[in-house]
Structure 1
């Protein structure tokens, strides 16, 4: 990573470490993200989105190892694990049984957690530099279209909102969501 890229990430990493919500480009739209281990940040994100905590959230990561503290890998058989790994990194979010200590603000009313290993290079770099996954939800206020540019993020959330500059990937739709245990399609991608 060149120094220019590193300096672009520094204020975003600082915002995450200070329990703030950030915006960043993903495969299809800009996402809102925060530290999944910060109750304050997750509550701030839910309030911004006007999203009930019961729905649960998605974690986005650079690799499977970053997700291990939150999901119950032992609940998956070899075939299920192989199916998940074959789709990652990529635009498929898998709902996997959560570890008992995974915060309810992340799982919502469920005993599982939605997780994805992203193939977007900026998401990969951001998660690697932060050292853990991020909560990820589309960057938009309730009732508004998801943001697809830095300008749209600033229009909806204000000029001072911490945004990682970059382009969204070429996907038109958000990630597909599947149940890891049954393979059932929960949301079409």
Structure 2
């Protein structure tokens, strides 16, 4: 339809050519309207997809915030449970120490240790629970309190020897039993 493009041709066109131009313009406008409807449909589809994407994004964001808050709540609960467990272990440890003291008192009452032996053994040989540890503690104490040393004391050295002999006998009797 290049022949319809110039204004000179429109002015000089015959009736038949004008009718042909009108027909072409009508077809072209119909084609353009069809393309416009296709474009409008595509735009509507894209807008629908964008709205769906926004809704999905908002849903996932709210789900993320919910999960984040749940994680914080779970973390706080976990921290509380850890504190409860720590307190429980501390109480158990204190109870264990109390039971150990009561057990020693019970042993003392049953006659395994004489009262004066129990109190002095706690002083110099506190925490000794094996024969090897007893001997090592004895050597260390003798190095400190031996009368030949500057800080040595004969009376303290006698007390250490007495306690050592008592505990040594107890370990021997325990080992034989």
| Band the TM-score falls in, shorter-chain normalisation | under 0.3
Larger Rg: 2
Structure with higher helix content: 2
TM-score by length of 2: 0.22
TM-score by length of 1: 0.21
